[in-house]
Amino acid sequence: MIDSIIKLVIGDLEEKQAYKRMMKRVDALPKDHRFAFHKIQHYMFSVGPPGGDMTIFTDLTMFTDLVDLFEASAAEGKQVLDVIGSDVGKFCDEFMLAAVAANTETLREKLNKEILEKFNKKEQ
């Protein structure tokens, strides 16, 4: 009960810690990659994903994937525009669409698993 009240008031501490860890990784990126990450993050939060499926913002997977992409490209010595292109809005929209598709697939898998488990248990 107390845990529920704490989560309601302050939020999930594990999620906040994961966000802080991710942002430390962002801070370690080269200046141009870091700048682009912050602008892209702001765009994604402001515009939202195409189709309005806001569930992709319920975890950090999409943003950690972006950090992974930027870390890998920086390690390879690529310029940020070589990664995101000149139409950054299009890059963001396509990146969010991919995240929505992955999230939908995960939700489908979870739904199938839960229903199959439920009915398999009843049949036994």
Say if CB 27 and CB 37 are below 8 A apart.
no
More confident residue, 14 or 31: 31
Average pLDDT score, the chain: 84
Domain chopping of the chain, boundaries: 2-123
- Helices 13-27 and 61-75, interaxial angle, to 10°? 20
Which among 68, 70, 67, 55 is positioned nearest to 102, based on CA atoms? 55
pLDDT value for 79: 96
Looking at the structure, give the CATH architecture of the domain made up of residues 2-123.
Answer: Orthogonal Bundle (1.10)
pLDDT value for 48: 79
Report pLDDT digits (tens) over 97-120.
Answer: 888 777 776 777 888 888 888 888
Q: Kindly report the pTM of this predicted structure.
A: 0.73
Give the span between the Cα atoms of 14 and 35, in whole angstroms.
26
pLDDT value for 124: 46
Report pLDDT digits (tens) over 75-93.
Answer: 999 999 999 999 999 999 9
User: Which of the four pLDDT bands, split at 50, 70 and 90, describes residue 9?
Assistant: low
